[in-house]
Amino acid sequence: MKEELVILVDEQDKQIGLMPKMEAHEKAVLHRAFSVFIFNENNEVMLQQRALHKYHSPGLWTNTCCSHQREGENNIEAGKRRLLEEMGFVVPLKETISFIYKAPFDNGLTEHELDHVLVGNYEGEPIINKDEVASWKWMPLEDVKSDIKQHPELYTAWFKIIFERFYSYLES
């Protein structure tokens, strides 16, 4: 299987090239990404637990789904594609904030991403892809915030950064 390419960008999100995903994470090169937050009618966010065999951050809790846009794919298309691939459903998504972050991992890889945060609403149960997702749950935002503070080791490095930025956006 051909390795997925990520879109390299400058700080204004202008595409400047393509690179294999693993190489971009090994070299900590800035690339485009997205993070999806799905909410229910109770304003709870759907979290996923990463599959236990993932090459980084296995078994940790994170936002509903996240990944990288493919060349020629806009943020919304990419979010819907990955939501279907990981969680088994598609809903309308809207763009909220975007920002750059850097998160190194214990295995030597680094996420250096210009992340676009997408939101949507869903009331059903996901049909999770067990290759990607071990489990899922709904959680009130306040509970997520306090649980990250009490148990940061249970959450992915990028989710802790993205959640803080997104939570501040929601409060403003």
Q: How far is CA 60 from CA 44, 64, 151, 157, 171, in A?
A: 19, 12, 11, 9, 26
Instruction: Considering only CA atoms, give the Rg of the chain.
Output: 15
Catalytic residue among 65, 86, 111, 113: 113
What's the token pair of residue 131?
């290759």
Catalytic residue at 95?
no
Residue 134 to residue 148: CA distance in whole angstroms: 19
> Active-site residue 3, yes or no?
no
Query: Which residues on neighbouring strands pair with residue 133, listed in sequence order?
Result: 50
The values of phi and psi at residue 112, to 5°, are -130, 95
Give the active site residue among 65, 66, 86, 111: 66
Catalytic residue annotation: 66, 113
